[in-house]
Amino acid sequence: MMEEILTQLRENGCRITPQRREILNILFASKQHPKAEDIYEALRHKMPDTSLATVYNTLNRLKELGLVDVLDTFGEESARFDPITAAHDHLYCLGCGRIFDIEPHQHEPLAQSQHAGFQIVREQTTYYGYCLECQGESGDEPPTILP
């Protein structure tokens, strides 16, 4: 998969710098849908001269080319980046902020129906709740979040 992405970047005029390669490695190694800042923190230990702007520029280029999805529906200041662009849904833990991939829902996708003439080009569902760790080993109810 990584080689396919590198090929697409090259075909679209992007140089494959060591920084870009490492950004991709960090993004694809993470299962937590990292923010640009998370990638930057991981990167600066290996390549301290790399700027946050380089990370953002690389992620934005990947987004433009459809090579990553951007998840920005979690009420955070920064978007999360998902290297899996195939249709799938997410579980978002309100306690720790982790995001888990799940298979898409099995009902008839709204995208296949006509709804007031709206043309749907992408579909994704996010379920909000608490992971097992945040529920506590005792099975206590998670804290209530008031609006």
Domains and CATH numbers, the chain: 2-71 (1.10.10.10), 86-135 (3.30.1490.190)
Query: What burial class does residue 81 get, using C-beta atoms within 10 Å of its C-beta: 0-12 exposed, 13-18 middle, 19+ buried?
Result: buried
Instruction: Fill in the amino acid letter for 139.
Output: G
Instruction: Output the pTM of the full model.
Output: 0.76
Residue 129 in contact with residue 145, Cβ under 8 Å? Answer: no
CA distances from 70 to 20, 62, 74, 79, 82 (A): 18, 10, 11, 6, 6
Query: Using one digit for the tens of pLDDT, what is the confidence trace for 40-92?
Result: 999 998 999 999 999 999 999 999 999 999 887 666 677 899 988 888 888 88
Residue 81 in contact with residue 69, Cβ under 8 Å? Answer: yes
Residues 8-21: what's their mean pLDDT? 92
Angstrom distance (rounded) from CA 74 to CA 89: 13
